[in-house]
Structure 1
């Protein structure tokens, strides 16, 4: 084994457990205010389907459809659900809800994936046929290859990442590139050679980024590679290229960049340098240390000024396997013969313990031009000779500065800060308390940052990881849930001391990781374990979390293509869910003791701002609602005129069936008693030289269909019952091989039964504490929504179906991962409860339906806000509306005609007293209130119309006076309605009477009748004026 055999790394976590052996469809009907109309279909591509009652998808049907059509043809249910969809993170983030509600699939988005290799193992064509990849074999419409370059790196992690992206954003175009060398030059045998290789790798990385940005014009980049031999305390050339891409420089569009945090948890130490001269520590230093020990300054690890300790105890319980210890200090990083480079001669010494005494073991090695050194924890051989010994699990570290500098000159400058990291890629437990196994770093009770380099760049988004099974979507009852960080996810907090030119600046601590995303979803081939026992490889690590976020970003960007990368990050962060990291009842993992960044109430270095939630982020971006006012429309013109009063406390509901009556609760049960056979899983393609198993298994799926129709409103509750058994020859004890998923007409899917997982997170680190199947065989099982009964819990939260339409075809998908036996679904039934959403108007007559009750009309049809009215009233407005990208917040005002009720008789004649202290008055100015108090025994909202007049009566409209004495004579219908409405005298109206010139003191000025769309007084009321 050579020293640098595993320097270039991806951040796929290597888990520690072994892999077990192993006719045309009916249209659905959905919510629509106009009518129940078909929206989504169960397509027949690659599908064997009985008449509207069931369907089957197997490996053979997918392959045959691909061979016949020359393209992938997995069947599709609803808006974007594919039977070949893998990746449980899709459900964990509720990304399927985003696709269903907003009709987004990543269409028009280009996503660049940077990783190790793509098709070195072979298998890409198979993945395309199965529908787990888009067609990436050729070129896009512009002639650019989807595989920008590839290398013979036998891992194809990039293809696994692409599968995760495709499951969430199925219509996005995916491009792959790698900075890894085409030719394997072998492991470097010296620090200088390792640094040269790292510098060349960094230059290729920059070229890859520029290729994706300049030529491909990607919208999003996701990567999962890192190299410890890059600058930690300043932005190297990769970090600078990342920021260049995000800024959108040189005429390019800005790119949202997502980078994997890493899987090294908090196995690190960093500190300001507290140099202590030899005379003060000579008693601590073993005599076995070679050379002149008096020429060194020794770092004091103990922060207590009263004590000095130059040896830091370190313990890692797991075995070392090509793991390295890296240290860097605060000096500029040399690149391309730059003038700035290391000028501080520092070393790391290792000690072990023998018979209770510390013994010098050896020291890390480096290149004087660079502020770093390293040591292979498992030792090093060259030419069959052991040149460096393996360190034991417990060892001691000393960091020292050589005051004499380097032998070749220079190096006398004192360090002020240093940091060491052990790169384990998830193979060691974190530093914490009360863990079954715990790493220990003395004087670093909380560990420290293991995010560095371009993963810690200023403008990109660094992504940490949570297990998909610890997200709220995978809890049957969200009130019992609290998600947690994966036990390997890297902590942020590495400071930046220099600008890109190597000039020292004020220390900058960046808010990385920005957020956490779910990981450990399935792929067809990539992964090192199968914890959920479905025979599909689970892709773990921040390498898996990162493409999941990138795919969600594609959905968000399709929803609003004007979003900048910073705005995408902000929407994801603002909708994220904080993760607990220091609960009293669980193992403790505290944040590193570092300067705060951002909002300390929402950000910490282990988890950023928390777990992303695709549904909530999309809701922020779409920001849809239906709003409006309810008013008394006296003029019956559909417009709230002056005097049309708002109606407070009016219930407004979304009328889904057009009957004008709110359906407050409707429950319907539909059964399917047709037995359904689920075929056995298929053994298929074996990648060349694959390192895990020589056999891949593709589960078979079948679906039993139930169709609902004429249910008003949206879902508020759901209950499912099923009976399944193992046929003769089947093994009921192998029930962990059968998985049930409920799929709604919109394509939203919720796993009902499967493998219940707990573990590999900070609340339950290490191996799984629970790994139990929830599928019940041989007897009827009932699943309830939001239940506290374990016997009736769904594997994932059924609340994903809330506020979505009930009408249409529902599928109970049964997946069989057993390659040797078929299983039988005897029957199942589904009970849905719906109601039409309702809100109440406020004092201004205003109402609003929030986005949580709504979807784009392309998914569910038009909406009709409605008020339930008695027979003697009706709505005067057009209250149908649609929601879409060009109409996110439609306003629907609801005018209500006044009831046809008798009003009090007007007095036959009355007089209005006017003030004679005002000269004239000519004309006589008065108001509606003057009329109402003079004509009626009590003031009410009655309206008036002038019947006859001597002279002229005018009403003020804005800044002008309008003659309302006689009916209008226009032939324009719209203008006629407007003028007729103006004639009506309403509350708050101001009027004036202009007497005729020949009779200024007429006995009768004019006459009135009461009005409410028709005459409501039997006689006229004569009005005259008197001076007071």
Structure 2
């Protein structure tokens, strides 16, 4: 709080809440992502080739760098007397590199670690390493890089800006900062826009917040009986029914913790804006006797247009949300709250769910990716937690671009799960990596495969709109707000623009004349065995 005394040099000071990454608690290596086969990128590597006068090689991502921004890469300490986690992954073939015994498949260029998570306290997930294992499964010839993105929004922005002016990059993140704008642009989004002109792509996980959100425009309640704890002068309340009901009822479960953020469509001082918010919206938890239960609100004018609210339920029960403006009637001001940690919180009235995509994922050029369980690849449907896009109350329309698979195998022991309800997920010893953190890498790595092939097939005047190609050939299922233009089918996209190369596995010879026939003298039938014949 003392920082706010230095108003001449500090515009805004607030707590930095830990950002969310989108994991929910590969044949190259020991653990191979089942999503590779589900989206048919494995068949792309087997059946499409880059042919030059000198050689013919598989399409494998060579010439493209895949860059992952997440929490950490190899920040968890190894077991006593054991090599680093990365070295173990390299030896197993789950990552490229030459540490220890080296990658057994000949991919010897190690992951380029640009900036690791610098701290050692707590239990880190090393989600970035799991994401890169998936990338290596799908595009094993691609160069791989990692940079932590969770230290602060500014540090994340600077990490992205390092790629301005580069080419042939597929950049991926699975990060949601709750303290940046949920309306309009962000500094992170602007940095991404500056990176893309080099022919790069930027993907982000859509998030794991389902449609756990409420949105509206502020409507002052008429003749409302405001609680006594509110300041008298200038305070008005939002009418959830559009007339006079200032309370929105919800229920909670004992022992659960909840985290909710209220955003409204005004400027953020922390986004280098010299003005900040002009209004002061607040969110409160109130009981049926109008007593304050939770209310840790800031004075927002000239600062950021958001409020955090976090609490733990001491018993099963019900209470009410109350949203007020401490600066008088702001008019039809668009706002939304997102329940980032829901834990059995049920909003019981005036609630149909709303978009939960926020921050830089709303940037039009950013490709947000939804999730489908790989076990349902034959009949794809959205994971229920996969975040929703849609129309916001200010008229903007964030979208999901495409979707792919999650719940897949990786060799990172600190994320994922072996069992759900005591039942093995897929019957193998590897933990399964759920969440849009996993699905986003599948889509991005398929793009890397395509980008590695196009220069050979089309030359410098490449006419292929890669995004539209994948969208046109995606499996059209589910709600577009969750799954975008469909679930990735990499094989269908490649077959749309190129011919597969036949693979001959062997021959069978059957003579049509009596026993003792001689090849070249007597008739015989030759059967050619293999795959992908025209």
Q: What TM-score results when the alignment is normalised by the length of structure 2?
A: 0.79
Q: How many residues align?
A: 465
For 1:390 and 1:160, how far apart are their aligned partners in 2? 36
Which residues in structure 2 correspond to 1:310-389 (within 5 Å)?
A: 310-315=246-251, 320-321=256-257, 323-335=258-270, 338-353=273-288, 357=289, 359-368=291-300, 369-378=303-312
Pairing partner for 1:493 from 390, 399, 417: 390
For 2:29 and 2:274, how far apart are their aligned partners in 1? 58
Shift of 1:175: 0.6
For 2:486 and 2:463, how far apart are their aligned partners in 1? 18
Matched-pair contact (CA < 8 Å) for 2:111–2:143: no
Matched-pair contact (CA < 8 Å) for 2:218–2:334: yes
Pairing partner for 2:45 from 87, 90, 99: 99
Name structure 2 gaps, 5 residues minimum.
1-13, 49-57, 77-83, 101-108, 419-424, 511-526
Matched-pair contact (CA < 8 Å) for 1:272–1:416: yes
Pairing partner for 1:174 from 141, 144, 167: 144
Match of 1:302? 241
Instruction: After superposition, give the CA deviation of every residue in 1:24-58 in whole Å (9 maximum; x if it has no partner).
Output: xxxxxxxxxxxxxxxxxxxxxxxxxxxxxxxxxxx
Residues 178/276 of structure 1: CA separation in 2 closer, same or farther (3 Å cut): same
Shift of 1:365: 1.6
Match of 1:394? 318
For 2:150 and 2:205, how far apart are their aligned partners in 1? 17
Matched-pair contact (CA < 8 Å) for 1:147–1:175: yes
For 1:464 and 1:619, how far apart are their aligned partners in 2? 24
Pairing partner for 2:469 from 557, 563, 571: 571
Instruction: After superposition, give the CA deviation of every residue in 1:46-87 in whole Å (9 maximum; x if it has no partner).
Output: xxxxxxxxxxxxxxxxxxxxxxxxxxxx9xxxxxx4463511
Which residues in structure 2 correspond to 1:630-641 (within 5 Å)?
A: none
Match of 1:543? 437
* RMSD of aligned alpha carbons: 3.4
Match of 1:528? 416
Greater relative CO (CA pairs within 8 A, separation 6+) = 2
Match of 1:710? 508
Matched-pair contact (CA < 8 Å) for 1:333–1:371: yes
Residues 111/268 of structure 1: CA separation in 2 closer, same or farther (3 Å cut): same
For 2:317 and 2:15, how far apart are their aligned partners in 1? 20
Matched-pair contact (CA < 8 Å) for 2:454–2:462: no
Shift of 1:580: 3.0
For 1:267 and 1:441, how far apart are their aligned partners in 2? 12
Query: Alignment partner of 1:338: what SS?
Result: coil
Instruction: After superposition, give the CA deviation of every residue in 1:284-328 in whole Å (9 maximum; x if it has no partner).
Output: x45xx314447322211125xxx532111223558534x421001
Matched-pair contact (CA < 8 Å) for 1:579–1:611: yes
Match of 2:4? none
Query: Alignment partner of 2:246: what SS?
Result: coil
- From the two aligned structures, give the one with the greater strand fraction: 1
Residues 150/86 of structure 1: CA separation in 2 closer, same or farther (3 Å cut): same
Residues 243/345 of structure 1: CA separation in 2 closer, same or farther (3 Å cut): same
Matched-pair contact (CA < 8 Å) for 2:29–2:92: no
- 1:206 has 2:157 as partner: yes
Which residues in structure 2 correspond to 1:261-280 (within 5 Å)?
A: 261-277=206-222, 280=223
Match of 2:75? 120
Matched-pair contact (CA < 8 Å) for 2:355–2:387: yes
Matched-pair contact (CA < 8 Å) for 1:265–1:487: yes
Pairing partner for 2:224 from 249, 257, 281: 281
Shift of 1:711: 8.2
For 2:127 and 2:294, how far apart are their aligned partners in 1? 36
Pairing partner for 1:518 from 402, 405, 408: 405
For 2:321 and 2:429, how far apart are their aligned partners in 1? 44
Match of 1:617? 493
Which residues in structure 2 correspond to 1:552-701 (within 5 Å)?
A: 552-561=446-455, 567-580=465-478, 604-622=480-498, 624=499
Residues 210/295 of structure 1: CA separation in 2 closer, same or farther (3 Å cut): closer
For 1:347 and 1:229, how far apart are their aligned partners in 2? 15
Match of 1:442? 349
Pairing partner for 2:397 from 509, 513, 519: 509
Matched-pair contact (CA < 8 Å) for 1:231–1:333: yes
Query: Alignment partner of 2:154: what SS?
Result: helix
Residues 82/180 of structure 1: CA separation in 2 closer, same or farther (3 Å cut): closer
For 1:554 and 1:317, how far apart are their aligned partners in 2? 45
- 1:454 has 2:405 as partner: no
Pairing partner for 2:97 from 135, 157, 176: 135
Which residues in structure 2 correspond to 1:934-953 (within 5 Å)?
A: none
Query: Alignment partner of 1:348: what SS?
Result: strand
Instruction: After superposition, give the CA deviation of every residue in 1:692-713 in whole Å (9 maximum; x if it has no partner).
Output: xxxxxxxxxxxxxxx752389x
Matched-pair contact (CA < 8 Å) for 2:91–2:99: no
For 2:285 and 2:401, how far apart are their aligned partners in 1? 35
Instruction: After superposition, give the CA deviation of every residue in 1:399-443 in whole Å (9 maximum; x if it has no partner).
Output: 111245xxxxxxx7545111101112xx647xxxxxxxx843521
Match of 2:376? 470
Shift of 1:11: 1.1
Matched-pair contact (CA < 8 Å) for 1:109–1:554: yes
For 1:372 and 1:565, how far apart are their aligned partners in 2? 44
Matched-pair contact (CA < 8 Å) for 1:401–1:414: no
Q: What TM-score results when the alignment is normalised by the length of structure 1?
A: 0.42
- 1:242 has 2:192 as partner: yes
Query: Alignment partner of 2:482: what SS?
Result: coil
Residues 563/543 of structure 1: CA separation in 2 closer, same or farther (3 Å cut): farther
Residues 528/6 of structure 1: CA separation in 2 closer, same or farther (3 Å cut): farther
Name structure 1 gaps, 5 residues minimum.
15-73, 75-80, 182-200, 379-388, 405-411, 430-437, 473-481, 498-506, 582-603, 627-653, 658-706, 713-804, 809-853, 864-1028
Shift of 1:611: 1.2
Query: Alignment partner of 1:807: what SS?
Result: strand
Match of 1:1009? none
Residues 517/393 of structure 1: CA separation in 2 closer, same or farther (3 Å cut): farther
Shift of 1:566: 9.3
Shift of 1:202: 1.9
For 2:315 and 2:231, how far apart are their aligned partners in 1? 24
- 1:89 has 2:43 as partner: no
Query: Alignment partner of 1:377: what SS?
Result: strand
Instruction: After superposition, give the CA deviation of every residue in 1:136-187 in whole Å (9 maximum; x if it has no partner).
Output: 769xxxx997111112363211111000111111111101111344xxxxxx
Matched-pair contact (CA < 8 Å) for 2:248–2:347: no
Shift of 1:468: 0.5
Instruction: After superposition, give the CA deviation of every residue in 1:642-678 in whole Å (9 maximum; x if it has no partner).
Output: xxxxxxxxxxxx9x99xxxxxxxxxxxxxxxxxxxxx
Residues 214/316 of structure 1: CA separation in 2 closer, same or farther (3 Å cut): farther
Which residues in structure 2 correspond to 1:723-734 (within 5 Å)?
A: none
